[in-house]
């Protein structure tokens, strides 16, 4: 049972989600339990308060455990944050036996070579993602396994993060009583949940608008080509509403989700929302037109930053064209008219990505919300890893352990015997030395 279950832990800026899932007979994800807690110690995807983060993780995990009656041990964790950056790198290996075919071991050897790259101080490699291969003089090879060749070369997309930030997340997980089985870049996880294989082949940019960060992943020909993390998200929109309307954060968040729109022309001047004042103060009246102007200004900034990254990838080149356009996901994708604004700025086809196409038909309705895309993606990633590396059956392991224990006991007995023999030898030599010394002293007298 445990082999078929995976747990995704999405540590976000606004919420922490723990999701337990397994694959059903139709290849869909059956969600067994979900826990959600307000994220207290995370800012822009980076942990800035260990104690509060641990409490939030424990709360989410406990909720998921109670719902599913399954104890959570191993989790697949999503990582994002402003410290994430990506780079391109080419590397090669020379094979000793060119007459044998290229196999998985050769590709692993090449990947491990890239993992040894010297990074800037305080950085480490999170992912090494092959783009395309070159075998001897044959370029643009998508799948080199099974081919003959002496030199195997590849272009890689390397994702790098700050060591301290990754360790802090790891520490929170361990302190919460869990084991981190894998760590995945959040835009990669979200793309597993909301993108189809056809879109990845045609070329697509997935934009995950979270609370603290906006993540971007670009796919073309079924391969990830570009990733970026922009350090702005839905929270900066809430902060702007709070400042612009002089209200508290809770009210600003409610205004944004219930009445907010990214398109200022939609609201008329006479549409007004009344907000109760604090401690008996007069209520505040805010026009929806002003509210949408505030939201529009900040949403524009976020989309401009993302579009700049898409331009950096070079989407206007014929070979890099993104035919499938843009897919918006994450909590920020629920903002009214955000799709229209993205289409207007970028001129690309846009749709909202829902994770429900990978979920079993009887799943709860709330899980098909874009805000759960990363958690669903992490569960998919966890199940894929388990399918690649199935764990051995428990009975066999126990038998092996018994044999090992017997062997160690025998070895220990042999060591003890050897020590006793050595001790005896040592004692006899010492006795002889003492007696010789006595004789020498007696003779001297």
Residue after which a domain boundary falls, among 294, 321, 353:
353
pLDDT at site 25: 85
- Please indicate, yes or no, whether residues 152 and 220 belong to a single structural domain of this protein: no
- Please indicate, yes or no, whether residues 205 and 267 belong to a single structural domain of this protein: yes
Structural domain boundaries enclosing 423: 401-445
**76 by DSSP, 3-state: which?**
strand
**215 by DSSP, 3-state: which?**
strand
Q: Distance between CA atoms of 428 and 329, rounded to whole angstroms?
A: 81
Nearest to 9 by CA among 66, 69, 67, 53: 53
Q: Distance between CA atoms of 139 and 153, rounded to whole angstroms?
A: 9
- Please indicate, yes or no, whether residues 221 and 289 belong to a single structural domain of this protein: yes
For residues 70 and 33, the answer to whether their CB atoms sit within 8 Å is: yes
CB atoms within 10 A of CB 71: 8
For residues 13 and 210, the answer to whether their CB atoms sit within 8 Å is: yes
- Please indicate, yes or no, whether residues 203 and 156 belong to a single structural domain of this protein: no
Residue with tokens 């995976």: 6
Q: Distance between CA atoms of 330 and 237, rounded to whole angstroms?
A: 15
Residue with tokens 């007979």: 25
- Please indicate, yes or no, whether residues 128 and 218 belong to a single structural domain of this protein: no
Q: How far apart are the first and last CA of the chain?
A: 86
- Please indicate, yes or no, whether residues 304 and 425 belong to a single structural domain of this protein: no
309 is a domain residue: yes
What does DSSP assign to residue 251?
A: H
Residue after which a domain boundary falls, among 353, 387, 421:
353
- Please indicate, yes or no, whether residues 330 and 423 belong to a single structural domain of this protein: no
Q: Give the helix/strand (H/E) hosting 365.
A: none
| Residue range 213-268, pLDDT digits in tens | 999 999 999 999 999 999 889 999 999 999 998 899 999 999 999 998 998 877 67
Q: How much of the chain is in helix, strand and coil states, percent to nearest 5? A: 45, 30, 25
131 is a domain residue: yes
Residue after which a domain boundary falls, among 162, 188, 210:
162
Q: Distance between CA atoms of 142 and 223, rounded to whole angstroms?
A: 10
440 is a domain residue: yes
| Dihedral angle of Cα 369, 374, 379, 380, to the nearest 10 degrees | 90
Q: How many domains does the chain have?
A: 3
12 is a domain residue: no
- Please indicate, yes or no, whether residues 329 and 201 belong to a single structural domain of this protein: yes
What pTM, to 2 d.p., does this model score?
A: 0.82
pLDDT band at 293 (very low <50, low <70, confident <90, very high): very high
- Please indicate, yes or no, whether residues 226 and 339 belong to a single structural domain of this protein: yes
In order of 57, 81, 228, 308, 361, the CA distances from 216 in angstroms are 25, 12, 5, 11, 28
Q: Give the helix/strand (H/E) hosting 18.
A: strand 15-23
- Please indicate, yes or no, whether residues 213 and 328 belong to a single structural domain of this protein: yes
- Please indicate, yes or no, whether residues 142 and 204 belong to a single structural domain of this protein: no
| Residue range 357-395, pLDDT digits in tens | 888 888 888 888 999 999 999 999 999 888 877 665 444
- Please indicate, yes or no, whether residues 208 and 297 belong to a single structural domain of this protein: yes
Q: Distance between CA atoms of 19 and 208, rounded to whole angstroms?
A: 19
> Pairing between strand 204-209 and 138-141?
unpaired
| Residue range 87-137, pLDDT digits in tens | 999 999 999 888 889 999 999 999 999 998 888 899 999 999 999 899 988
137 is a domain residue: yes
pLDDT at site 388: 76
CB atoms within 10 A of CB 101: 12
Q: Distance between CA atoms of 237 and 297, rounded to whole angstroms?
A: 9
283 is a domain residue: yes
Q: Distance between CA atoms of 88 and 129, rounded to whole angstroms?
A: 10
177 is a domain residue: no
58 is a domain residue: no
Q: Which residues pair with 217 in a beta bridge?
A: 206, 227
């Amino acid at each position: 049972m445990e082999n078929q279950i995976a747990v995704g832990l999405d540590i976000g800026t606004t919420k922490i989600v723990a999701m337990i899932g397994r694959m059903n007979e139709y290849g869909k994800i059956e969600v067994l339990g979900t826990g959600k807690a307000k994220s207290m110690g995370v800012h822009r995807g980076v942990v800035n308060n260990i104690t509060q983060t641990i409490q939030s993780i424990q709360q989410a995990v406990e909720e998921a455990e109670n719902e599913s009656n399954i104890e959570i041990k191993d989790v697949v964790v999503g990582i994002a944050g402003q410290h994430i950056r990506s780079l391109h790198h080419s590397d090669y290996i020379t094979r000793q036996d060119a007459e044998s075919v290229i196999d998985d071991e050769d590709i692993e050897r090449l990947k491990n070579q890239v993992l040894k790259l010297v990074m800037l101080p305080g950085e480490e490699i999170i992912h090494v993602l092959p783009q395309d291969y070159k075998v001897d003089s044959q370029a643009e090879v998508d799948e080199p396994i099974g081919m003959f060749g002496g030199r195997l070369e590849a272009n890689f997309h390397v994702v790098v993060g700050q060591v301290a930030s990754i360790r802090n997340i790891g520490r929170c997980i361990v302190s919460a009583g869990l084991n981190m089985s894998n760590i995945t870049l959040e835009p990669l996880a979200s793309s597993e949940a909301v993108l189809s294989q056809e879109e990845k082949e045609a070329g697509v940019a997935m934009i995950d608008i979270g609370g603290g960060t906006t993540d971007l992943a670009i796919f073309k020909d079924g391969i990830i080509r570009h990733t970026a993390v922009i350090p702005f998200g839905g929270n900066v929109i809430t902060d702007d509403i709070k400042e612009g309307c002089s209200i508290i954060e809770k009210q600003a968040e409610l205004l944004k989700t219930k009445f907010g729109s990214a398109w200022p022309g939609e609201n008329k001047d006479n549409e007004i929302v009344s907000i109760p004042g604090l401690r008996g103060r007069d209520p505040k009246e805010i026009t929806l037109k002003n509210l949408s102007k505030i939201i529009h200004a900040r949403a524009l900034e976020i989309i401009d930053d993302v579009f700049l990254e898409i331009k950096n990838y070079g989407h206007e080149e014929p070979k890099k064209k993104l035919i499938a356009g843009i897919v918006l996901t994450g909590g920020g994708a629920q903002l009214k008219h955000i799709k229209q604004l993205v289409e207007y700025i970028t001129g690309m086809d846009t749709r909202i990505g829902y994770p429900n196409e990978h979920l079993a038909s009887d799943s709860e309705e709330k899980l098909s919300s874009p805000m759960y895309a990363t958690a669903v993606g992490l569960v998919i990633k966890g199940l894929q890893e388990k399918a690649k590396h199935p764990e051995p059956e428990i009975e066999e392991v126990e038998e092996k352990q018994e044999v090992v224990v017997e062997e160690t006991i025998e070895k220990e007995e042999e060591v003890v015997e050897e020590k006793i023999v050595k001790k005896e030898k040592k004692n006899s030599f010492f006795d002889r030395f003492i007696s010789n010394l006595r004789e020498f002293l007696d003779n001297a007298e």
